Amino acid sequence: DAKTTQPPSMDCAEGRAANLPCNHSTISGNEYVYWYRQIHSQGPQYIIHGLKNNETNEMASLIITEDRKSSTLILPHATLRDTAVYYCIVRPDSGNTPLVFGKGTRLSVIA
Amino acid sequence: DAGVTQSPTHLIKTRGQQVTLRCSPKSGHDTVSWYQQALGQGPQFIFQYYEEEERQRGNFPDRFSGHQFPNYSSELNVNALLLGDSALYLCASSRITGKNTEAFFGQGTRLTVV
């Protein structure tokens, strides 16, 4: 079973920041927080991951609370192409550990 | 870099038949994992291949089998197809060690069993 809890859906106005929350209260010390998204009928796309420090790349920012029990994925200027299901996954940083997907958050970006 | 490629993109099979799906991993990746995604659900882990051997397996019956070749590409085979096997089958590749071990997915194969 997935170790994360996410809201089932969210709306965001185009051009505004989209803040997607994730709870992972049982995260272990060696587990990272990964975010993937899946645009309709495509394969999941890796977005970002982090352990305890905040991370930023060209796609998004990841804010992890100090106790590591929750995190927020931030898309700074959402566009219509960001409409997708976003999955938050906790996983050790090892290439042989399978990803356990929950139901994710369906983000709708509205013009 | 072509990324992860899967073939075919769509497939229709009859109940009871067998199917083979193919995956070429991203350049530099040595591990291939397969996932099944039913409509409206998140992907579910089937199994993982590394060094041409099945290393881990999810809760799927023996009808699901696979293979990894020396060039790291992989096949997923499903025997005795059931209607419930209709799904999007996703291949993900990764590096088992090193700095960047995140998994990258292909676009999937949509299998319809009739």
- A81/B35 Cα distance (integer angstroms): 25
pLDDT tens-digit map of B63-109? 999 999 999 999 999 999 999 999 999 999 998 776 667 889 999 99
Q: Up-side HSE of residue B83: CA atoms within 13 Å toward CB? A: 1
Residue A108, helix vs strand vs coil: strand
Q: Which of B33, B98, B106 sits opposite A43 (nearest CB)?
A: B106
pLDDT tens-digit map of A30-73? 899 999 999 988 999 999 999 998 999 999 999 999 999 999 99
What pLDDT was estimated at residue A80?
97
Residues on chain B touching A2 (C-beta within 8 angstroms) = 42
- A45/A65 Cα distance (integer angstroms): 24
Question: Does the pLDDT of residue A16 top 80, yes or no?
Answer: yes
Going from the C-alpha of B61 to that of each of A39, B81, B86, B110, the distances in angstroms are 29, 12, 15, 20
Interchain proximity B42–A101, CB inside 8 Å: yes
